[in-house]
Amino acid sequence: MGTMAEPAEDKELAMLKEHVAQLGQHFDTVHIFVTRVSPKEGGTINANWGDGNWYARYGQVHNWFIRQDAISRREALEQE
């Protein structure tokens, strides 16, 4: 979201915060990433919000990325 948030963007960020808070009642860490096409902005906009131990969230996302990258490479090799 930009520094000068539009009212709709304020609502979207509030929604992210609300859902993170709800999930945070059941989990140690939560981080939500979202994107959507924005014709007004001329492309895709993104937002993210999280709660809980930052290092745990970073480690989880980093581990996910490494695993997905390995799966993609393996699948590409199998298609050759």
Per-residue pLDDT, 3:
41
Mean pLDDT value across residues 52-75 = 97
Residue burial 24-39, b: 16+ Cβ < 10 Å; e: rest:
eeeeebbbeeeeeeee
Average pLDDT, the chain: 89
Q: Considering only CA atoms, give the Rg of the chain.
A: 16
